[in-house]
Amino acid sequence: MFTKIIKNEWRNLFAERSFLVLAIVFAVLLGFGIYNGAKWIKERSEKSKALLVAQEKDFADKKEKTAKGFKGSFEPGNFQPDPASPYSIGMGLQYAVLPFSPTAIFAVGQSDILPIDAGVTISSIQRTIAAKAIGENPLSFLAGRFDLAFVIIYLLPLFILALSFNILSGERETGVLQILLSQPLSLKNLLTAKVTAQFVFLYALVLIVTLIGLLVSGVNFSAEGFLVRTILWLAVVFAYTLFWFSLAVFINSFGFSSATNAVACSAVWLILVLVLPSLLNILVSAVYPVPPRSELIAAERSVNLDMRKDGKRLLSEHYQDHPELMPKSEKPDLNDFGLAFVYVQRLIKEKMDETQEKFNNQIENQQNLVSKLRFLSPSIITGEAINDIAGTGLNRHKHFRSQVKEFDKAWGEFFVPKIYRLEKLSVDDFDKIPRFKYKEESTSEVSARVGLGILVLVLMSVGLMFLTFGKLENYRLE
């Protein structure tokens, strides 16, 4: 009987034109989301790759010139710095690139805000291209991006509710329910069979379209972590789908008319997907307010020194405090503008890093709170989980940032003492210049965070179904 109802439900679904149109539209939107995500990743990765290639080429050029004994050119109109100068290399911007995770296609997430190529320099970032970055059109952020995560978090529930808002009320209003229940069939079994039929159809649709999308967009299936992350994604989508179906049957169990059910379903969707997250956002930023950005500016400007005026004094003090930095053969020129500049920039950098840390800590506090509050809305659970799986959220970026910090330190330690000691890079030194290599976060951490979310989603769904079955006892057929 159970399978008969399922088959019948499918037959009914496919016979309805409006349903087919809806299903096709949904499939197209899924495809569009995947396409957009793939485009996004491709553009960004190519940009990062080009940066890294340019950097290595620059090192190779300088190494070759140094080997040939080229000492730079001061000819007017053709100024070239000494290729072996630790000052000119160290002051330049070295990019540490966060590669996209193999499953980044699942969500653009925060990757449009959190920089995936962090510039590192011995100077303060203030004067680098990173601080002068021409941003994206602010308008791009207003509407939000049409990626796969958007389709899953916003549209999938709508599609589910459109399918099932009248799963019982519709049958009752047409009189079919009364006829069906005159057969040896309980309401519970009927409902379970109908929901199962719709669920299987929908999940299969998402699965197939996504699989095709991944194949077409050239995702590397054998990449490390791909399988685990994809399985996690499938599980999250499964649990999220389950939740919305449970919610629809729960609303149906009250025995309202189809129109009332539709109003109730859309109101709940609105509250869980739109209203609650924005209210929680307010709460989170009120509990852990981020200091005003002007503090960063104040830090930037706290070291207010005129190198031309104060440079000599500062440098001689610095050499006295750090005798190990004294050049071995010659005396440093205390009027050297570049040396004083490095000194001042290091001071500013220190101040700015300290202040930046305050910002980062506060955002991390916010994120920790979000991880706790996410259980209030299935959309937040799913949103956080998808960002985690795609590796485009705060968690993976935090992991990246701590590695960049290490790299930044190594970069400074390599170049700054050489500058003060008035040393040049030897040919061999070029191979010793620190290079950034990202170490991936462990998938077990991701699995643990995501797994908890999935568990809660499933528990919520089970709870709703339990309540539904209880209410069905008193379901009125009139």
**Residues in 362-421 that interact with another protein by CB under 8 A:** 362-363, 366-367, 370, 379-380, 383-384, 387, 393-394
Report the distance separating Cα 151 and Cα 291, nearest Å: 34
- Is 391 buried (19+), middle (13-18) or exposed (0-12) by CB count in 10 A? buried
For another protein, the closer of residues 27 and 162 by Cβ is: 162
301's tokens: 């400007």
**By CB under 8 A, is residue 78 in contact with another protein?**
no
Q: Per CB under 8 A, does 339 bind another protein?
A: no
Residue placing its CB nearer to another protein in the complex, 266 or 443? 266
Phi and psi for 476 in degrees, rounded to 5? -95, 130
Residue among 21, 20, 35, 30 at smallest CA distance from 156: 30
- Considering the complex, state which of residue 295 and residue 429 has its C-beta at the smaller distance from another protein: 295
Task: Determine, following the binding rule CB under 8 A, whether residue 294 of this chain makes contact with another protein.
Answer: yes
Looking at 207, 282, 427, 477, which residue binds another protein (CB under 8 A)?
Answer: 282
Is residue 57 a contact residue for another protein (CB under 8 A)?
no
Q: 192 or 387: whose CB is closer to another protein?
A: 387
Site for another protein in 107-126 (CB under 8 A): 109-110, 113, 126
Q: How far is the CB of 203 from another protein (least distance, A)?
A: 21
Q: Whose Cβ is closer to another protein: residue 84's or residue 314's?
A: 314
- Out of 143, 220, 321, 330, the only residue in the binding site for another protein (CB under 8 A) is 143
Of 4-12, 63-71, 145-153, 221-229, the window that binds another protein (rule: CB under 8 A) is: 145-153
Q: Does residue 49 bind another protein (CB under 8 A)? A: no
Figure out which of the listed residues 4, 39, 313, 409 binds another protein, where binding follows CB under 8 A: 39
Tell which residue, 91, 245, 104, 90, has the closest CA to residue 167: 245
Calculate ∠ Cα 252-256-262, nearest 5°: 70
Residues between 179 and 238 that touch another protein (CB under 8 A):
none
If the CB atoms of residues 277 and 430 are measured against another protein, the closer one turns out to be: 277
Does position 347 interact with another protein (CB under 8 A)? The reply is no
Task: Map residue 327 onto helix, strand or coil.
Answer: coil
**Which of residues 124, 253, 258, 382 is near another protein by CB under 8 A?**
258
Q: How many CB atoms lie within 10 A of CB 315?
A: 21
Q: Which is nearer to another protein, 318 or 374 (CB)?
A: 374
Q: Which is nearer to another protein, 126 or 217 (CB)?
A: 126
DSSP result, 421-462: TT----TTHHHHS----PPPPPHHHHHHHHHHHHHHHHHHHH
Exposed e or buried b for every residue in 100-130, given b needs 16+ CB within 10 A? bbbbbbbbbbebeebbbbbbbbbbbbbebeb
Beta carbons within 8 Å of 440's beta carbon, 6+ residues apart: 101, 224, 225
CA distance 70 to 424: 12
CB of 2 to another protein, least distance (A): 28
Residue 112 C-beta: closest distance to another protein, Å: 9
Residue among 126, 158, 172, 52 nearest 350 (CA) = 126
- Give me the count of residues in the chain: 478
Helix, strand, coil % in the chain, rounded to nearest 5: 70, 0, 25
Of the candidates 10, 254, 359, 438, which one interacts with another protein according to CB under 8 A?
Answer: 359
| Segment contacting another protein by CB under 8 A, of 140-148, 317-325, 407-415, 469-477 | 140-148
- Sequence-distant (6+) residues with CB within 8 A of 435 are none
Assess 47 for contact with another protein (CB under 8 A).
yes
Per CB under 8 A, does 164 bind another protein? no
Residue choice 17, 69, 78, 137 for contact with another protein (CB under 8 A)? 137
Tell the smallest beta-carbon distance from residue 157 to another protein (Å): 11
Binding to another protein (CB under 8 A) within 297-316 occurs at 297-298, 301, 304, 306-309
CA distance 243 to 407: 44
- Contact with another protein (CB under 8 A): which of 27, 162, 227, 458? 162
State how far the Cα of 124 lies from the Cα of 344, in Å rounded to an integer. Answer: 9
96 beta partners: 118
Q: Is 290 in the site for another protein (CB under 8 A)?
A: yes
Q: Does 448 bind another protein (CB under 8 A)?
A: no
User: For the stretch 55-69, what's the b/e string if a residue is b when 16 or more beta carbons lie within 10 angstroms of its beta carbon?
Assistant: beeebeebbebbeee
CA–CA gap between residue 455 and residue 20 (Å, rounded): 32
Interface with another protein (CB under 8 A), residue total 81
Q: Is 176 in the site for another protein (CB under 8 A)?
A: no
Q: Rounded to the nearest whole angstrom, what is the least distance from the CB of residue 4 to another protein in the complex? A: 27
Q: Binding of another protein at residue 19 (CB under 8 A)?
A: no
Nearest by Cα to 412 from 433, 427, 398: 433
CB of 61 to another protein, least distance (A): 17
| Shortest distance, position 449 Cβ to another protein, whole Å | 13
Q: Does 134 engage in binding with another protein (CB under 8 A)?
A: yes
